[in-house]
């Protein structure tokens, strides 16, 4: 058996989210430690953060500050900002990571794959031609080639630039 030496992966394994039953989409923005919690952007009704367990580099989430289980419970201003932030996220991801496409989605309920099913949020996952290889298929292992800190710095700079335009 071959061993892959990747001590930087401990940041993915070590607990970084509240260990209580707190909702991460409520607790993390309320802590006002944006860099520590990878919060990239704050709006009036929604915020954007990197996923701690990404499918690909740049995998981010946009969530309303309002704690609701479904987007059907959101006010129209919050829904509009959710989509506006999605546009901003796509621009920032295109400029920093040059993906070939995106997966975007909302998982409502545990049965639909929601890790936090009580708080609606939108996932945006950048995709590249060839980003699927034998590792997930044969070894049930996903290799993330970029550290979250690096992705955060690149995305934060791009988002700050876009916000000032």
Indicate which CATH number applies to the domain containing 65. Answer: 3.30.428.10
Q: Considering the domain boundaries, does residue 27 fall inside one?
A: yes
Q: Considering the domain boundaries, does residue 139 fall inside one?
A: yes
> What pLDDT is recorded for position 5?
55
Kindly report the CA angle at 76 between 86 and 85, in degrees rounded to 5?
15
* 156 closest CA partner among 35, 27, 47: 35
> Is residue 121 flagged as an active site residue?
yes
| Run means of pLDDT, 10 residues per run, the chain, 165 residues | 56 55 92 97 98 92 96 96 97 97 90 81 93 59 80 96 85
> What pLDDT is recorded for position 94?
97
Q: Which of 37, 45, 59, 121 is an active site residue?
A: 121
Determine phi and psi for 26, rounding to 5 degrees: -100, -45
* 102 closest CA partner among 125, 120, 75: 125
Domain that holds residue 115: 21-160
Q: How far is the C-alpha of 73 from the C-alpha of 67, rounded, in Å? A: 10
Q: Considering the domain boundaries, does residue 102 fall inside one?
A: yes
Q: Considering the domain boundaries, does residue 104 fall inside one?
A: yes
Q: Considering the domain boundaries, does residue 119 fall inside one?
A: yes
Go through the chain and tell me how many residues it has: 165
Q: Considering the domain boundaries, does residue 50 fall inside one?
A: yes
> What pLDDT is recorded for position 113?
75
Q: Considering the domain boundaries, does residue 1 fall inside one?
A: no
> What pLDDT is recorded for position 135?
54
Q: Considering the domain boundaries, does residue 6 fall inside one?
A: no
């Amino acid at each position: 058996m071959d061993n892959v030496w990747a001590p930087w992966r401990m940041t993915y394994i070590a607990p970084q989210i509240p260990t209580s039953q707190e909702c991460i989409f409520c607790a993390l923005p309320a802590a006002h430690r944006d860099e520590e919690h990878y919060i990239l952007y704050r709006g009036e009704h929604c915020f954007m953060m990197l996923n701690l367990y990404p499918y690909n580099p740049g995998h981010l989430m946009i969530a309303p500050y309002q704690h609701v289980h479904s987007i059907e419970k959101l006010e129209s201003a919050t829904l509009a900002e959710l989509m506006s932030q999605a546009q901003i996220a796509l621009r920032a991801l295109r400029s920093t990571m040059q993906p070939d496409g995106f997966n975007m989605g909302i998982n409502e309920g545990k049965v639909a794959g929601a890790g936090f099913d009580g708080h609606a949020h939108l996932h945006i996952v950048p995709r590249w031609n060839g980003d699927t290889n034998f590792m997930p298929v044969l070894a049930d292992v996903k290799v993330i080639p970029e550290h979250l800190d690096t992705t955060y710095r690149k995305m934060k700079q791009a988002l700050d630039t876009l916000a000032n335009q």
